[in-house]
Structure 1
Amino acid sequence: MTWKGFFEGIQSFAESVLFAPYDALRLGVDSWWVSNVVSWILVLIGFVAFFYWMKQLSIFNASGEEDRSQTSHSFLGKN
């Protein structure tokens, strides 16, 4: 076995096994817009989750349950 054969084996494994899920996502289309629908859906889900999380943080902040004193940790209270 040569080094060339070793690296070609790694290449073959990566192309046929590791990248198989990405090949399945291509859906066999040539249009850029159709190919990237999954990416746009994931970006949309990310934005919705971000705004939901920010809303929940503002509700929690408005309830006043959090201890906001600087002496919550000993290293913050020292002057």
Structure 2
Amino acid sequence: MASTKQLYGRLDRWVRNLSRIEYALFVGSVSLVSQLIIDIFLTELQLLDAVITALIITIVFYLLSGIFPRD
């Protein structure tokens, strides 16, 4: 259990130290990979839908991170 808390703490510190654009790109890439994995297991691969969704999420997170701080 302690290793899980340590891993969470390290990941939390790493994400909090990302810049605005790095954070938006990180969230967008997690969205892209997640949607691709779900598409592969549930339906056929829809690459264009996953890329468009990731782009929109990246843009929204970048724009809103200037208005609403992450802390």
TM-score bracket, normalised by the shorter chain, equals 0.3 to 0.5
TM-score normalised according to structure 2 size:
0.36
Larger radius of gyration: 1
Return the structure number with greater helix share. 2
The structure with higher relative contact order (CA 8 Å, sep 6+) is 2
